[in-house]
Amino acid sequence: YHGRGAVVAAVIHSPGSALEPLFDPSTWRLSLLFIHSSGWGSARDVRLSRRALRFSCAFPVIHLDECESTQDVAWDCEPGTFVVADRQTRGRGRGAGREWVSPPGGLYMSWRLGVVEPTGLTLLGGLAVLRALRKWGAEAWLKWPNDCWVGQKKIAGVLADCRWSGSRCSGLVLGMGVNVQVKEPPEGAVSLHQLCRQAPDVAEFGELLRAQLRELLKVHEKMGVSGYLSELRSHSLPPGSKIAYWLGGQRSEDEVADLDGQGYLLLRSGLRLTAVDRLQVL
Ligand code: BTN
């Protein structure tokens, strides 16, 4: 495999099939095509041979027409790789069994990271999405911990899957789903193209988002959440807003007080402040 800027002509062999990476220097887009004995297959066959994706490249963005979930594909890639799919057949949302409906027109992207401090990474993903949306004029805000909303409608969500080795995070996949050009977003959701006159195409938005993610990760590696906490606060629900959550199997509602130094949400009930675990918020 020849790296950045070069014409890619190498064939990567894997048991039973071969992959032809096609690199388009004008868009910096890398797609994978399978070569079967019967001829060319398509990148959506990727699940037949996911192991074949375990390779490094100088510009690690892997683009697929379709896959079940980019979260799963990303685990088989080298740290640093982004996996992007035009559509997902089993996209996952936060929380057990939640689906992320993934029609064409959305950005479905997962970023494989290696050993990393996981605290705050969901927020980092959300902030990167907010920055990218705001560059296109959408007044997006963060519904802690992983939703991006514009007004009262959801436009994007973030999902962090972590692997542990004892108490240490040995790897993480940070997934983002953004309604960029989705023509008919689900009820309660909105798409960027409905909000701005000249919305970017999905590839352009993806590039911008990757730049934001890389920039924020550098800050995270040096300073953790504290490096971007004030920006998070300024785009989150203001203190005093009501928020619903589950506690002990019951739905409760309290007032937002603040984000603590690690990015956990602090709720006020009476004189008491409680830090809410991210899985409890509705
Ligand atoms: C949520 O708001 O519940 C999180 C949604 C995360 C969706 C993204 S799309 C890319 C990646 N692949 C998945 O299956 N899920 C995440």
Q: Is the CB of 146 under 6 A from ligand 1?
A: yes
**Protein residue whose Cα sits closest to atom 7 of ligand 1:** 177
Give mean pLDDT in consecutive 10-residue pieces for the chain, a chain of 282 residues: 32 44 52 46 38 47 93 92 95 91 97 94 97 96 94 97 93 98 96 94 96 97 96 93 84 90 90 77 71
CA of 48 to the centre of ligand 1 (A): 22
Sheet of 272-276: strand order equals 242-247, 250-259, 265-269, 272-276
Site to substitute for ligand 1 among 62, 71, 75, 279, most atoms within 8 A of C-beta: 71
Structure tokens at 146: 């992983």
Q: 168: exposed, middle or buried (C-beta count within 10 Å: 0-12, 13-18, 19+)?
A: exposed
Q: What is the chain's alpha carbon radius of gyration, rounded to the nearest angstrom?
A: 20
pLDDT of residue 32: 55
Q: 126: exposed, middle or buried (C-beta count within 10 Å: 0-12, 13-18, 19+)?
A: buried
Q: Is the CB of 100 under 6 A from ligand 1?
A: yes
State the closest ligand 1 atom to the C-alpha of 68, by its place in the atom list counted from 1.
Answer: 14
Q: Is the CB of 23 under 6 A from ligand 1?
A: no
CA of 173 to the centre of ligand 1 (A): 11
Residue type, 154: K
CA of 38 to the centre of ligand 1 (A): 35
Half-sphere exposure of 138 (CA within 13 A, CB side): 33
Strand pairing report for 61-67 and 82-88: parallel
Q: Is the CB of 110 under 6 A from ligand 1?
A: yes
State the closest ligand 1 atom to the C-alpha of 156, by its place in the atom list counted from 1.
Answer: 2
CA of 176 to the centre of ligand 1 (A): 5
Residue type, 54: R
Residue type, 166: G
CA distances from 178 to 30, 190, 194 (A): 21, 10, 13
Which residue do the tokens 């890619």 mark? 8
Are the C-beta atoms of residues 77 and 83 closer than 8 Å to each other? yes
CB-based contacts of 215, cutoff 8 Å, min separation 6 = none
Q: 51: exposed, middle or buried (C-beta count within 10 Å: 0-12, 13-18, 19+)?
A: exposed
pLDDT of residue 19: 54
